[in-house]
C-alpha cells in the first residue's frame, strides 16, 4: 500500500487496517515457522506497510 493511498484513509479506517495487517503478519510468521513460505519477502513488506500506516496515523492524530 502506498503512502498516498494511506493518507486518504480516515483515522478509524487506518486503525482497522492496522489491526487487520497485524493479524495477517502474525499468521504469516506462524506459517513460516511451521513450513517455509514461498515468498518470505511478504513478511518484510507487511511489516513495512504496518509501520507506514502507524506513521501516518500519528501524523493525523498525535494523541494515539
Provide the residue ranges of all domains of the chain, joining segments of one domain with +.
3-60
With respect to CATH, is domain 3-60 assigned 1.10.10?
A: no
Cell of 59: 501524523
pLDDT score for 47: 97
Where do runs of H (alpha helix) occur along the chain?
3-7, 11-34, 41-60
Taking the alpha carbons at both ends of the chain, their separation in whole angstroms is: 21
pLDDT score for 32: 94
pLDDT digits (tens, 9 = 90+) for 11-50: 999 999 999 999 999 999 999 999 998 999 999 999 999 9
Nearest to 9 by CA among 44, 55, 45: 55
Amino acid at each position: 500500500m502506498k503512502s498516498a493511498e494511506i493518507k486518504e484513509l480516515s483515522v478509524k479506517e487506518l486503525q482497522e487496517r492496522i489491526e487487520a495487517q497485524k493479524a495477517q503478519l502474525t499468521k504469516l510468521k506462524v506459517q513460516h515457522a511451521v513450513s517455509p513460505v514461498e515468498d518470505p519477502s511478504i513478511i518484510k513488506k507487511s511489516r513495512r506497510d504496518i509501520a507506514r500506516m502507524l506513521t501516518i496515523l500519528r501524523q493525523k492524530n498525535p494523541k494515539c
